[in-house]
Amino acid sequence: MTITPRLDERQRPAAGKNGPEMSWQVPLSDLLVDDEIETVVRNVVRSGWWSMGAGVAAFEDEFADFCGAKTALAVTNGTAALHLALLAVGVGPEDEVIVPSLNFVAAANVIGHTGATPVFCDIRGGEDLNMDPEDVEAAVTPRTRAIIVLHYGGHPCDMEAILEVAARHDLAVVEDAAHAPGARWRDQMCGTIGNVGCFSFFSNKNLPTGEGGMLVTDDGDLADRIRRLRSHGMTTLTWDRHRGHASSYDVVAQGFNYRLDEMRAAIGRVELGRLRERNAARARIVNRYRAELHGVRGVQMAFASADGNSSAHHLAVLLLPEGHDRDAFRGFLTSRGIQTSVHYPPIHTFSYYRTLGARRKLPATDAVADRIVTLPLYPHMTDRDIAAVTECVLRAITR
């Protein structure tokens, strides 16, 4: 199989859905590449300043504004955002952090990197795949320091109940809003409800920059700690010194290099301007999936009765009838050029986390683990793409 794209594909890599290695009729997610994106990146490249500078600062200001947060801090990726958030709220060795097992593994990994221990909690069930606040409370021990809240698929968690648990036990709340830029809980944006919110700009997320991430917070002390840890614990940046704003620096913490660069910030600013409209397009596609698939032949769509307007609709997740062969189902869709995925194999089932995972029972997570399938979802899906997916799902179910 060739991995070198033809020249025309290299110029417009994704819009034609022709990734270099596999050509799906309907991919799981897809980027739209256009002249504006190419122009802003070219302008940065030509500017001669590529590392964190004025473009990153502008992206941060615009993102903070969008969220209604005091401060936004751009980082290398969403995992780095989670890592810094935990360190900033004071998580360290001997602590425990509660996190849903039905989640991407990054959150559990970074809890470990701080020296703390992840404690897995359950979800509410097949309709609501978000964490169950009652099980969060059941998971609290004297060592618990923080909760990482995942707004699964972009659907806001029951933050009222989670904030109550946090307040009762004096826990920090870190929101993993990787799926949820633009999602709202009541009148607040996801990411701005807890102590600090974390976003990812990975290529398949709602606001893609390739790699990239952002933290948002209203807490000035947290922001200061995050800003310092992001750049080696140093008190000034290369950018400050370049501008003549500083000529030396002190090191006040054992930090990291988690900075974002100017090329990605330029893409991020364009994508941020398109986010509302793109999320609305995602909502319309999910509504089509619900209308055509939910309740048909034993198939369910997750979050089918949730308020679709408050979600960022990062994922369209279907639940197969109990006992249905998921591999065969996905295999049939693959054979028709329709890409699917599983978000996620629960973290407690992975080899590395199995021992830790066995400490708590997660019946609702276990009950959906073999039934969930993620369907293609990206804002520029056509009616034909959607129909291809729904027809294929229904055929696969009756086979």
Ligand X SMILES: *Cc1c(COP(=O)(O)O)cnc(C)c1O
Residues with catalytic function: 205
Nearer to ligand X, 78 or 126 (CB): 78
Q: Are 350 and 101 in contact (CB under 8 A)?
A: no
Our CA angle for 289, 294, 297, nearest 5°, is 120
Q: How far is the CB of 288 from ligand X (least distance, A)?
A: 23
- DSSP letter at 186 equals T
Q: Distance (Å, rounded) from C-alpha 256 to C-alpha 294?
A: 46
Structural tokens at position 218: 């209203």
Instruction: Between 137 and 176, name the residue whose CB sits nearer to ligand X.
Output: 176
What is the rounded radius of gyration, in angstroms, for the C-alpha atoms of the chain?
21
Alpha carbons 374 and 33: distance in angstroms, whole number: 24
Q: How far is the CB of 314 from ligand X (least distance, A)?
A: 8
| Max Cα distance, the chain (Å) | 70
- Do the beta carbons of residue 140 and residue 172 sit within 8 Å? no
Distance CA 41, CA 319 (A): 40
- Nearer residue to ligand X within complex by CB, 128 or 176: 176
Instruction: Look up residue 309 and give its two tokens.
Output: 């307007």
Q: Which amino acid is at 307?
A: D
User: What is the spatial distance between Cα 54 and Cα 59, in angstroms, rounded to a whole number?
Assistant: 9
Here the tokens at position 355 are 């021992």
Q: How far is 211 from 196, CA to CA, in rounded Å?
A: 20
Residue number with CB closer to ligand X (207 or 397): 207
CB closer to ligand X, 104 vs 185: 104
Beta-strand pair 117-121/96-100: parallel
3-state secondary structure 16-39: CCECCCCECCECCCCCCCCHHHHH
- Distance spanning both ends of the chain, measured CA to CA: 31
Q: Which among 105, 52, 106 is positioned nearest to 81, based on CA atoms?
A: 106
Q: Summarize as ranges the residues that interact with ligand X (CB under 6 A).
A: 77-79, 103-104, 106-107, 150, 176, 178-179, 200, 202, 213
Minimum distance of ligand X from residue 324's CB (angstroms):
25
Between 154 and 329, name the residue whose CB sits nearer to ligand X: 154
Residue nearest to ligand X (CB): 78
Shortest Cβ 142–ligand X spacing (Å): 27
Residue 74 β-bridge partners: 214
Q: Phi and psi at residue 105, in whole multiples of 5°?
A: -70, -15
Shortest gap between Cβ of 356 and ligand X (angstroms)? 18
Distance CA 199, CA 189 (A): 12
**Identity of the residue, 108 or 333, whose beta carbon is nearer to ligand X in the bound complex:** 108
Shortest reach from residue 256's CB to ligand X, in Å = 13
Tokens for 190?
Answer: 């996801």
Assess contact for 383 and 330: CB atoms under 8 A.
Answer: no
Of 67 and 392, CB closest to ligand X: 67
